[in-house]
Structure 1
Amino acid sequence: MEKELLLEKIETDIKSQFLNESTGHDYYHIARVAYMARQIAQAEHADAFVCTLAAWVHDIGDYKLNGGVDKSEELIRNFLSEYSLGTSLIDRIVTIVSQVSFSKGKHAESLEAKIVQDADRLDAIGTIGIARAFAYGGSVGHSIYNPIDPTQNTSVQHFYDKLLKLKELMHTRTAIAIAEKRQQFLLQFLEQFYKEWNMENECLN
């Protein structure tokens, strides 16, 4: 099957599976990562097809969407086998996806894995990253913020546990340049958030 047609068919299937997902890992997140991965791959002279394909399937089987159990390898293999892809390509995609997640803490080895990881992390920062953080926090029962214990597992604490660290973890020049700009939105948001939170507390006292 021609590569672009294959990617179009995969996008259609991903859309049908993830369109109404509500934790911030929906079709639109996956699409942004796929398009960003392609953009970075072209700029960094990597395999754009492999990067885009891996990005489209990177959330299949993710533990956050499967009751805390990571089913990525099993479900990605099952999904891609429907397209009659060769074993070596499926193995390559599974390996790339296994190195993408921040929580797994694995080192991205190939240029393609670094690019997909960069693309996924870019979608976690900036204005959309902020929206996704609160969407995910709400979906798992986290409160917005706890001024009594700021280190409690809240959506705002997630900025310090993960989001603000991502800029320094980018691999490619293309992603680093984008991350620099998006990081500013995180910092500006937090500054304004604390101002408004403290004002609210003053009004309530």
Structure 2
Amino acid sequence: MTASDGSSFDRVAAEVAAHFDGDSSGHDLQHAWRVNRLGVRIADAEGADSRVVGVAAVVHDLHRVRGDGFTHPEETIPEIREILADADVPAGIRDPVCHCVAVHEEYGFEDDPAAAETLEAEVLQDADNLDAIGAVGVARAFQFGGAHGNLLWDPDRPLPDRDDAYRKDGHDDHDGPASTYHHFHAKLLRLRENMNTETGREIAAARHAILEEFAERFEREWYGEA
């Protein structure tokens, strides 16, 4: 497997494709491929192993298709090891790939510090988070919200601030369905500050600006001011 050999990533994707069939939450195989492309780009710029990042990107969200509740990525590692073996991924990079997957949702703005122990894991976090912001990030947020029956916005519920803890289950301490616009403030608008790499920060700056413009326009249109 070489970093420039796209077919090597294709073999891994072929092993996981069936798992993502029918996903409507924004965590489908197209998301995995976007993270793959971003990850390889960042890895090449930062001197990380793009083979590790690229393979991890393709399999990183297997936990997202494991039932209605939140499944931690670590719980899918045994299955991912089987997938890597079936796809003939070199044995020497399987442990680094699994570490990337296991920690990719451990964000520095949560109660626990970021758990990435390798540059490759930091790159995968950046690539995955970048696909959650910008124009694609806006689209994915509302796709996810629609798939889970979330409101667009509940303006009577206070928006979270940056001191509020982020909840992986998407809920807060209020009753009633979650709101996609609350998710913007709880997570998406905080991701720029959570980038690990310089390349990730550069890409995030432009994408974050799109989020801010959208949020400002969203509230004005909500109240008929624009």
Same fold (TM over 0.5): yes
Q: Work out the percentage of aligned pairs sharing the same amino acid.
A: 35
- Tell me if structure 1 keeps the 8 A contact 2:34–2:131: yes
Task: Select which of 191, 194, 207 maps to 1:182.
Answer: 207
Aligned residue number for residue 149 of structure 2: 141
Q: CA deviation at 1:52?
A: 0.4
C-alpha RMSD over aligned residues:
2.1
Point out the more displaced range, 16-25 or 40-49.
16-25
8 Å CA contact 2:12–2:83 kept in 1: the answer is: no
> 1 CA distance for matches of 2:131 and 2:15?
21
For residues 90 and 186 of structure 1, what CA distance do their matches in structure 2 show?
35
The code of the aligned residue for 1:178 comes to I
Equivalent residue for 1:66? 67
Look up the match of 1:34. Answer: 36
Show the counterpart of 1:191: 216
CA deviation vs aligned residue, 1:99-158 (integer Å, no higher than 9, x gap)? 111568542121000000000000000011011111111111211101122446310000
TM-score (norm 1): 0.87
Q: 1:173 aligns with which of 198, 207, 212?
A: 198
Moved more, 136-145 or 158-167: 136-145
State which drifts further: 3-12 or 123-132. Answer: 3-12
CA distance in structure 2 between the aligned counterparts of 1:126 and 1:61, rounded to whole angstroms: 24
Structure with the higher fraction of residues in helix conformation: 1
Change in 2 beyond 3 A, CA 1:111/1:40: same
Q: Identify the residue that residue 132 of structure 1 maps to in structure 2.
A: 140
Single out whichever of 15-24 and 51-60 deviates more from structure 2.
15-24
Q: Alpha-carbon deviation of 1:75? A: 2.2
Equivalent residue pairs, number: 198
Q: Deviations 1:153-200 (Å, cap 9, x if unpaired)?
A: 310000111001100010111110110000011010011111110018
Counterpart for residue 101 of structure 1: 105
Deviates further, 69-78 or 167-176: 69-78
Structure 2: gaps (5+ residues): 160-173
Length-normalised TM-score, structure 2: 0.80
Which of 1 and 2 has higher RCO (CA within 8 Å, sep 6+)?
2
Distance 1:102 1:73 in 2: 15
Supply the distance in 2 between the matched residues of 1:176 and 1:126 (Cα, whole angstroms): 13
CA offset at residue 8 of structure 1? Answer: 2.0
Q: CA deviation at 1:87?
A: 5.0
> 1:81 Cα shift?
2.5
Structure 1 residue 67: Cα displacement: 2.6
